[in-house]
Amino acid sequence: MHYSCQKRIIYCVLAIIVLFILLHPNLNARRTYEFIDKADIPVNLYVKISENFTSSALIQCDYHDVLYDDTSLSISIIDEDFSEGHKIKDGGEYCPTDCKPKFSSAIIVPYRDRAEQLRGFLVYMHMFLQQQNIHYRIYIIEQVDSNPFNRAKLLNIGALTAIRAGYPCLIFHDVDLLPLKPANLYACTKCPRHLSSSINKFRFVLPYLNLYGGAIAMTTEQYKLINGMSNRYYGWGGEDDDLYARLEIAKLKLCRFEPQTSKYHMLPHKTHPKRLRRQHLLKFARTRIHKDGLNSLQYTEVATVLHPLFTHIMVDL
Ligand code: BGC
């Protein structure tokens, strides 16, 4: 065969392979990480309800249908208004009325200066969470000072607030992330769980195995064991990698659900400049675990307001 003809065939085959990979990002993702098989999820769930929670329902909620729900939620929900007559209590707390839930989750969202995104997030998340038959409350922790954003410190504040309110499961969640699959149960597993392992921004592929940011779930016991997160990460990036280092020290192995269930849509926003010296901080993550975290957290609570869809905690760091 003529050399130029061979070359053309090779280029064609390569183009077909590239096109195939582009059109099937999930094929790629499925190979990138270990996950809990769907059938094994029930035994891996951490069944616990808030200490002070009571329900007058006679039967226990069932989660089989939630875990096997194959539908996706439409992100167009963010443009809707929340219907009048909903069953959410002031402060953004909800519990199913026709069955006793097995899980109580505090959804903790660090926040500053994204009002429109927050509005869409709240409408979407309440729609999403109410389908799951769980008891939950949404906490928005807002940094009101003008220092660089400190995501980890806001999460520590949210965690302490939720622990005081008796929540056994903490779900840390960025405001720009929307879970697409109702089967992605917002309850804790016995292992710390990375929920958002398949995000559209990364073409639904996990960028690196130790990624533990975006949306994650930990029991209060696990969070206390690692002394929460480091308070020293001002600016974008690194704080979640530091948290992963803490899991390693405490020998807590993280887990995930399958990529298909862990799909998220990231709302567009301005990118932030990366934090200078975050590599330096990360290098010493292991030496700081016992002195930098929940036990050294300092902040001023400016106000706490119970809104119809969320508990709003404003803080000065
Ligand atoms: C940053 C993390 C971030 C990840 C994914 C890493 O370089 O250190 O904080 O979550 O990129 O964007």
d(CA 193, ligand 1 centre) in Å: 17
Please give the residue that has the higher pLDDT: either 12 or 186.
Answer: 186
Give domain status of residue 20, yes or no: no
Residues with CB under 6 A from ligand 1: 207, 213, 237-238, 240-241
Task: Work out whether the CA dihedral 268, 273, 278, 279 comes out positive or negative.
Answer: positive
Give domain status of residue 268, yes or no: yes
Classify burial at 272, counting beta carbons within 10 Å of its beta carbon; exposed 0-12, middle 13-18, buried 19 or more: exposed
Place of tokens 């195995």: 209
Give domain status of residue 2, yes or no: no
Say how many domains are in the chain: 1
**3 state DSSP class of 281:** helix
- Which of 241, 277, 278 is the pocket-test mutation for ligand 1 (most atoms within 8 Å of CB)? 241
Closest ligand 1 atom to residue 240 Cα is: 9
Task: Read off the pLDDT of residues 7-33 as tens digits, 9 standing for 90 and up.
Answer: 888 887 887 776 765 555 545 444 579
Name the H helices within 250-306.
278-283, 285-288
CATH number of the domain residue 205 falls in: 3.90.550.10
For residue 208, what are the domain limits? 31-316
Give domain status of residue 5, yes or no: no
Give domain status of residue 196, yes or no: yes
Task: Read off the pLDDT of residues 150-173 as tens digits, 9 standing for 90 and up.
Answer: 999 999 999 999 999 999 999 999
Give domain status of residue 167, yes or no: yes
pLDDT of residue 23: 57
pTM exceeding 0.85? yes
In the 3-class helix/strand/coil scheme, how is 86-141 assigned residue by residue? CCCECCCEECCCCCECCEEEEEEEEECCCHHHHHHHHHHHHHHHHCCCCEEEEEEE
Give domain status of residue 258, yes or no: yes
Give domain status of residue 107, yes or no: yes
**3 state DSSP class of 217:** strand
